[in-house]
C-alpha cells in the first residue's frame, strides 16, 4: 500500500509540474481519440472538454474523431486504421466490441504507438486486448451499484418488478451494466424484464411507455444509459406522479438533469466523463516524456439526485460534469 501511495504521489507531482510549468515537455506530441459515440451524443462534450483541457495545459496536439451515427463500429474501425496510417504519438480509444478492435490495437502497439482505452473496455481487460490501460467506470460494478442505490428505500420484505432498458444491446458497455443491474435485482429478490430499446430517446420512450401500459405491476425503470429521461417522459404521459415509479440510469445529459429536478428521476450515476478525457492525455504525456507505464483508473460512481442536482447542472453547462 505504501509503495502504491508513493507511486501515486510521484505521478501527482509530475502531473502538477507539467500542468503549471514546472516541467517542460521536450517535444510536442500528437494524440488522437477514437470513439463509437455519434456526433449528436452530448455526453461526449465533457470527455472532449477534459481531453482538450489537458492538451492545452501540456501544449500537445489533440483531435477527437467521432462516428456520424451512434454505435457505428465499422466506421470507428475504419477511423482507427486511417489514424494508424498517420502515425500519431498516441491513441486513445473506446473498445465497444469484445473482438473487433483486437487486431488493430495490437498493430498500433507493434508500431510503437501506445494505446489507452477510455470509457468502454474489453470485457476481459488486458487479458482480452493489448491496450495498455483502461480509464473509465467499472461498468458491471456500476450497474450493481445503481440498482442497489435506487432500491435502498424499498420497504423491507417488499419485492418490486422492474423493467431494465438496454439501449445498446450487444455492445460491451451496455451488456456489462445490464449484468450488474440484473445481478443485484436477483440477489435482492426483485423481478425484472429486459427491454432492448435504442439510443434514440424518442424510440426508447415509446417502447418503455408501451411496456408500462401492458405491465401495470411495474414499480421502476432502470436504464443502462440515459434513457431514464425517456422513462420519465413516458411516466408523465401515463399519468404517474413524481416518485411513483423508481427511475434511475446513467450520465448527465440535460434531459436527465431536468427530470431529476422535476422529481420523476430518482437518481443518475455519473461516470465522470471529464476524467475519461483528461487522464488519458496526461498518461500518454507521462509515458512519452518519462517512460512511465500506464495504469488503470476507475472514474467512479458519482450519485446525482435532488440533493446536488443544481450544483451539477451548473458544472454540466461548463462541460465539466
Among residues 155, 144, 138, which one has the least CA distance to residue 186? Answer: 144
Among residues 277, 267, 258, which one has the least CA distance to residue 201? Answer: 258
| Residues 5-44: b if buried by 16+ CB within 10 A, e if exposed | eeeeeebeebbeebeeeebeeeeebebbbbbbbbeebebb
d(CA 43, CA 117): 17
Count of C-beta atoms within a 10 Å radius of residue 130: 17
Domain extents for the chain?
27-136+272-300, 139-270
**Residues 241-246: what's their mean pLDDT?**
97
Q: Residue 26: which pLDDT band, with cuts at 50, 70 and 90? A: low
| pLDDT over 70, % of the chain | 92
3 HSE (CA, 13 A, CB side): 0
Cell numbers that stand for 4 in this block: 502504491
Q: Residue 22: which pLDDT band, with cuts at 50, 70 and 90? A: very low
The secondary structure element, H or E, covering residue 220 is strand 218-223
139-270 shares the fold of 27-136+272-300? yes
Task: Check residue 24 and give its pLDDT.
Answer: 52
**Residues 44-56: what's their mean pLDDT?**
95
Long-range contacts of 185-190 (CB under 8 A, 24+ apart): 185/147, 185/151, 188/147, 188/148, 188/151, 188/159, 189/159, 190/151, 190/159, 190/160, 190/161, 190/162
- Number of residues that make up the chain: 321
Q: Judge: domain 139-270, CATH 3.30.420.40.
A: no
pLDDT digits (tens, 9 = 90+) for 137-179: 999 999 999 999 999 999 999 999 999 999 999 999 999 999 9
Task: Check residue 272 and give its pLDDT.
Answer: 94
H/E/C letters for each residue in 240-306? CCCCCCEEEEECCCHHHHHHHHHCCCCEEEECCHHHHHHHHHHHHHHHHHHCCCCCCEECCCEEECC
pLDDT higher than threshold 90 for residue 62: yes
More confident residue, 19 or 65: 65
Cell numbers that stand for 78 in this block: 475504419
More confident residue, 41 or 122: 122
- At the topology level, CATH places domain 27-136+272-300 in Rossmann fold (3.40.50)
**275 within 8 A of 253, measured Cβ to Cβ:** no
The secondary structure element, H or E, covering residue 163 is strand 161-166
d(CA 146, CA 226): 13
pLDDT higher than threshold 60 for residue 268: yes
**75 within 8 A of 149, measured Cβ to Cβ:** no
Q: Residue 318: which pLDDT band, with cuts at 50, 70 and 90? A: confident
Task: Check residue 2 and give its pLDDT.
Answer: 38
- Angle of helix 2-19 versus helix 273-290 axis, rounded to 10: 90
H/E/C letters for each residue in 78-98? HHHHHHHHHCCCEEEECCCCC
Lowest mean pLDDT among 164-168, 193-197, 266-270, 312-316: 312-316
d(CA 127, CA 15): 28
Cell numbers that stand for 163 in this block: 423493467
Average per-residue pLDDT for the chain:
92
Q: Residue 25: which pLDDT band, with cuts at 50, 70 and 90? A: low
pLDDT higher than threshold 50 for residue 1: no
pLDDT higher than threshold 90 for residue 17: no
**190 within 8 A of 221, measured Cβ to Cβ:** no
Amino acid at each position: 500500500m505504501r509503495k502504491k501511495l508513493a507511486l501515486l504521489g510521484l505521478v501527482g507531482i509530475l502531473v502538477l509540474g507539467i500542468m503549471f510549468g514546472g516541467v517542460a515537455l521536450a517535444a510536442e506530441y500528437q494524440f488522437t481519440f477514437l470513439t463509437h459515440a455519434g456526433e449528436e451524443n452530448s455526453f461526449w462534450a465533457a470527455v472532449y472538454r477534459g481531453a482538450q483541457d489537458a492538451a492545452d495545459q501540456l501544449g500537445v496536439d489533440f483531435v477527437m474523431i467521432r462516428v456520424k451515427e451512434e454505435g457505428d463500429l465499422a466506421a470507428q474501425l475504419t477511423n482507427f486504421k486511417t489514424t494508424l496510417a498517420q502515425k500519431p504519438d498516441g491513441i486513445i480509444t473506446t473498445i465497444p466490441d469484445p473482438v473487433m478492435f483486437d487486431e488493430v490495437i495490437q498493430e498500433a502497439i507493434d508500431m510503437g504507438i501506445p494505446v489507452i482505452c477510455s470509457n468502454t473496455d474489453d470485457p476481459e481487460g488486458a487479458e482480452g486486448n493489448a491496450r495498455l490501460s483502461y480509464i473509465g467506470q467499472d461498468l458491471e460494478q456500476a450497474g450493481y451499484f445503481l440498482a442497489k442505490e435506487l432500491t435502498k428505500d424499498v420497504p423491507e420484505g417488499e419485492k418490486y418488478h422492474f423493467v431494465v432498458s438496454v439501449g445498446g444491446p450487444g455492445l460491451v458497455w451496455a451488456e456489462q451494466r445490464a449484468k450488474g443491474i440484473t445481478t443485484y435485482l436477483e440477489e435482492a429478490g426483485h423481478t425484472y424484464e429486459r427491454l432492448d430499446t435504442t439510443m434514440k430517446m424518442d424510440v426508447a420512450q415509446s417502447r418503455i411507455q408501451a411496456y408500462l401500459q401492458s405491465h401495470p405491476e411495474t414499480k421502476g425503470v432502470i436504464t443502462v444509459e440515459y434513457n431514464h429521461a425517456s422513462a420519465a417522459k413516458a411516466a408523465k404521459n401515463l399519468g404517474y406522479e413524481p416518485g411513483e415509479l423508481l427511475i434511475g440510469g446513467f450520465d448527465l445529459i440535460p434531459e436527465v438533469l431536468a427530470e431529476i429536478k422535476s422529481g420523476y428521476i430518482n437518481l443518475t450515476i455519473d461516470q465522470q466523463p471529464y476524467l475519461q478525457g483528461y487522464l488519458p492525455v496526461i498518461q500518454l504525456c507521462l509515458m512519452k516524456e518519462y517512460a512511465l507505464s500506464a495504469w488503470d483508473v476507475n472514474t467512479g460512481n458519482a450519485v446525482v439526485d435532488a440533493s446536488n442536482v443544481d450544483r451539477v447542472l451548473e458544472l454540466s453547462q461548463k462541460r465539466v460534469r
